[in-house]
Structure 1
Amino acid sequence: MKVVVFSENNYGCGASIAASRLVKGLTKEHEVLFVYEKNKTKINQFKGININTWQLGETQNRWKNAIYRVFYMIARLTSTNIDRWLLFKIFNKKIKSIQPDIIHFHNTYFTHEQIAALSEKTPVVWTMHDQFAFYIYNYKITKFDGNEKIYCPIQEWRKRFYNPEKLLNNCNANVTFTPPSQWLVDLSEKRNAGRKAIKVVHNGIDTNDFYPLEKHQSRKSISIDAVKFTLLFLAGTGAWERKNSIVIFEALKLIPDLDIQVVAIGSVSKFKFEDSRVIKKGAVYSISALREVYSSADVFCIPSVLDNLPNTVLESLLCGTPVLGAKAGGIPEMIDDGNTGWLFDPYSPRDLADKITMLYNDFENVKNKSETCRSSVIDKFSEGTMVKNYIKVYNEIVR
């Protein structure tokens, strides 16, 4: 099978990480070209892997690069799609030269006409990591304070270039959508109404990348207490309202005497709080450092008010750390409540505080879940399972 996988970024966000993991898995038995537009990281996630990559809109020719920049500036000044027109011409030329069996988008800003044109010659699979393909915004959430917020709504002038209805109504457009969670499948079908194929394909992860480390040594490596009950969470800045870290701080206020430590990875600068139990550790990027972070915790908490199929849950479970997850989006699909983790209401600090207290008092049971956590990912979310499921989708479409 010859596959072109397209991702806006090469790494650095959940969608691009999922794309790179698919590429890594597919490359073992298939011919793959990984296309990306933006180079978001200096970490080489493909080190030691023989993989073809191509950065769309970047060449070794400085004059061509200058032309790309000029087209980009003109597009912004004139509110036109001229830069996407140029990039599509270049991308389409590449597609014609290599003649893949499948074009697999993970995130893209091509127009509905361009996607349809590609799909008429080469079947397109579009893995949705958010609601954009059907709703032209990333997420619509109800924040912790009860107000609604839309993340990354498409600019008004761009709506004439990407219209979901026109893509869905185009009978010649051979596009199959593959949301990673059943939650997003159900949400998409409300708009799709059977016009295009939608198939759930879970994100996968290389089970050799994440595995349990000795807990005391991991805690020593990141300089935290070796004995205390440890709750871990990842605090993001870009989507901090959706990631909902505030509910953790509100829950801690309800259990001021609980002798625990709470490790925050990333930035918590958005929140003003006074609690000596919270230890801020800053951002962590490398897989080896993440293994230590997950392994150091007794429980990983993900309090998002909305998330699709977050990679962090898989990473934590593979490291043998059970997950205290919000009952929102696709998170409940990843957690076997009571066995590999526990679910709570992301709008209720009281519910979260009670769950933390319960886990603190049932510490021995929490510690015994490591093997079950890891097995749950190996059985359902491994890289091999993901690749097998995508190949099945590819073959069905090609036939």
Structure 2
Amino acid sequence: MSNKKLHIVLLSYHDSNGGAGIAAGRLKVALESEGHRVDYLVREKASSSNSIKFGNGLVSWLKFIAERLFFLRFEKDKSIRFLFNPGIFGSDISKHPLIQQADILHLHWVNFGFLSVDDIASLTRSNKPIFWTLHDMWAFTGGCHHSGTCEHFQLSCGDCKFLKNPNPNDLSHRLWEAKKNGFKDKNLHIITCSDWLGNRAKQSSILGGHSIKTIPNAIDTAFFSPNTTDLGLDPNKNYVLFVAMRVNAPAKGFHLLKEALAYLDPKTTELLIVGGEMTEELPLKSHSFGQVTDPSKMRDIYAAADVFVTPSLEENLPNTIMEAMACGTACVGFEVGGIPEMVENQQTGYVARAFDPEDLAKGILWCLENQKAGEKARTRAIQLYDQKTVAQQHLAYYAQA
């Protein structure tokens, strides 16, 4: 690997709202720690971030609205509104000074009117290596972020279950054609956070011929650690933790966790919730922390929990599992996406049968009875996800280009 110090430009829609933006920000820190210059170009930024905002707020909002209005006449119903992105509206950033100066361009999640399919294609035609970390399936489908059981992305999309009038030449097929043509340049290199997503990408008709490598997201394992500040919880109770940006988002599976909680002892076990208030009655006493934006407080909550549960119906490589593991907390999740790659079943946590609340409860009980699982989880997080390890994997892949 060359010792040349690189100028790397990361691109993502938002720097801190959502797992992809957080992961890209952590990669910036990891690569800078190895001595490289890293600029982080985003459409939307948090006030405290050191990322660089592209465009003005009004234009960003209008492009987001245009993207949603375009899709409105095609969508099956409002429940799938943000599960499918056309990628029609965006901004040509190929002439931006940072793009012109960069040695490496590295895309993350660029939807919601940041980069269109044509904008991404324009970048791939530049005389620069382009890397793209996929956080879902959008890059190789006709517009959906997770296809579920649908395998149409292996051929040419069409007959899309997300659309009002599915047919062989529907919007998903036309968007598939645009990506097939736009993403064909061989200087586009793909990174997936999990082998599960990598295998899906390799099976796709759009990206199957590209270089595809699995590299996990990075985490600061010195910061995310078992050391905690007292949260005032009862030391004689067991605490089960659930975290989501929106607790009631159907794909996050809280309804399945609620069923699982009925199998636990309400005298000894309580629930911790991050992501919103619960108005419905639950089988266990719950403590809601609302939306937590302070990383130190989030670390303390992870460390205070006895087990972290992610009952999601679809996942790639959740930052939340990495964070909980690094804080010495055993994890439970369904056998979906990249979760089985992260959690060693009955070693660092428990991998439950997909969408089975009773087995999810069994996993929670196993973790509560096997306290050493948290220590093993911490060790595994350091081995797989530590910043230095992940940065060096990225740099080795950059060097191949």
Q: TM-score, normalised by structure 2?
A: 0.80
Give CA-to-partner distance per residue, 1:156-205, whole Å, 9 cap, x none. Answer: 4995598322234x3x4521111100000111111147321111111111
Gaps of 5+ in 2: 1-5, 72-85, 150-159, 164-169
Bigger helix fraction: 1
Q: Deviations over 1:48-85 (max 9, x none)?
A: xxxxx321103xxxxxx77777777788888999962x
Residue 70 to residue 125, structure 1, CA distance change in 2 (3 Å): closer
Residue 35 of structure 1 contacts residue 56 of structure 1 at CA under 8 Å; is this kept in 2? yes
Kindly tell me: are residues 295 and 102 of structure 1, through their superposed partners in 2, closer, same or farther at Cα, counting changes over 3 Å? same
User: Take 1:126 and 1:239, find their aligned partners in 2: how far apart are those partners?
Assistant: 30
For residue 234 of structure 2, the aligned residue among 225, 229, 240 is 225
Q: 1:300 Cα shift? A: 0.8
Q: Distance in 2 between matches of 1:133 and 1:24?
A: 25
Q: What's the CA shift string for 1:220-268, capped at 9, x where partnerless?
A: x2x4322111111114427721110111111122345562111111125
2:319 maps to 311
Instruction: Return 5+ residue gaps in structure 1 as ranges.
Output: 47-52, 59-64, 143-147
Cα distance 1:101–1:158, how it changes in 2: closer, same or farther (>3 A)?
Answer: farther
Alignment match of 1:388 (pick from 389, 392, 401) = 392
Match of residue 295 from structure 2: 287
Q: Are 1:103 and 2:105 counterparts?
A: yes
Alignment of 1:215-364 (within 5 A): 218=230, 221=231, 223-237=232-246, 240-255=249-264, 259-267=268-276, 269=278, 272-360=280-368, 362=369
C-alpha distance after superposition, 1:363-390 (max 9, x if no partner)? xx31x33432222111111111111111
The one-letter code sitting in structure 2 at the alignment partner of 1:13 is G
Query: Quick one: structure 1 residues 96 and 189, their matched pair in 2 at CA, closer, same or farther if it must change by over 3 Å?
Result: closer
Q: Is the 8 A contact 1:119 1:174 kept in 2?
A: yes
2:185 is the counterpart of 1:180: no
Alpha-carbon separation, structure 2, partners of 1:178 and 1:381? 15
Q: Distance in 2 between matches of 1:377 and 1:306?
A: 21
Which of 114, 126, 132 matches 1:126?
132
SS at match of 2:147: strand
Q: Name the Cα RMSD after superposition.
A: 3.2
- Are 1:377 and 2:381 an aligned pair? yes
Matched-pair contact (CA < 8 Å) for 2:242–2:274: yes
Q: Secondary structure at the match of 1:357?
A: helix
For 1:302 and 1:77, how far apart are their aligned partners in 2? 33
Where 1:202 maps in the other structure, the secondary structure is: coil
What is the aligned residue count? 359
Q: Secondary structure of 1:373's match?
A: helix
Q: What is residue 165 of structure 1 aligned with on the other side?
A: 180
Return closer, same or farther for 1:166/1:295 CA change in 2, 3 Å cut-off.
same
Aligned-pair identity in percent equals 27
User: TM-score, normalised on structure 1?
Assistant: 0.80
Aligned AA for 2:25? S
The answer as to whether partners of 1:6 and 1:105 remain within 8 angstroms in 2 is yes
* Secondary structure, counterpart of 1:204 in structure 2: coil
What's 1:19 paired with?
Answer: 24
CA contact (8 A) 2:328 2:377 kept: yes
- Structure 2: which amino acid aligns with 1:342? Y
Residue of structure 1 equivalent to 2:156: none
Asked if the contact 1:327–1:344 (Cα under 8 Å) also holds between the matched residues in 2, the reply is: yes
How much does 1:275 deviate?
2.9
The alignment partner of 1:178 has SS state of strand
Residues 138 and 150 of structure 1 are in contact (CA less than 8 Å); yes or no, is this contact kept in structure 2?
no
CA contact (8 A) 1:111 1:162 kept: no
Using a 3 Å threshold, how does the CA distance of structure 1 residues 343 and 371 change in structure 2: closer, same or farther? Answer: same
Q: Which amino acid aligns with 2:259?
A: E
In the aligned structure 1, how far is the partner of 2:87 from the partner of 2:273? 41
The amino acid that maps onto 1:94 is: P
Q: Name the SS of the counterpart of 1:343 in structure 2.
A: strand
For residues 75 and 328 of structure 1, what CA distance do their matches in structure 2 show?
30
8 Å contact from structure 2 (residues 334, 360) kept in 1: no
After TM superposition, the structure 1 = structure 2 runs for residues 52-71 of structure 1, keeping only pairs within 5 Å, are: 53-58=51-56
Query: Tell me, what secondary structure is at the counterpart of 2:17?
Result: coil
* 2:333 match: secondary structure: strand
Greater displacement, 194-203 / 121-130:
194-203
In 1, Cα distance between the equivalents of 2:28 and 2:106?
10
Aligned partners of 1:161 and 1:93: how far apart in 2? 28
Contact 2:261 2:284 in 1 (8 A): no
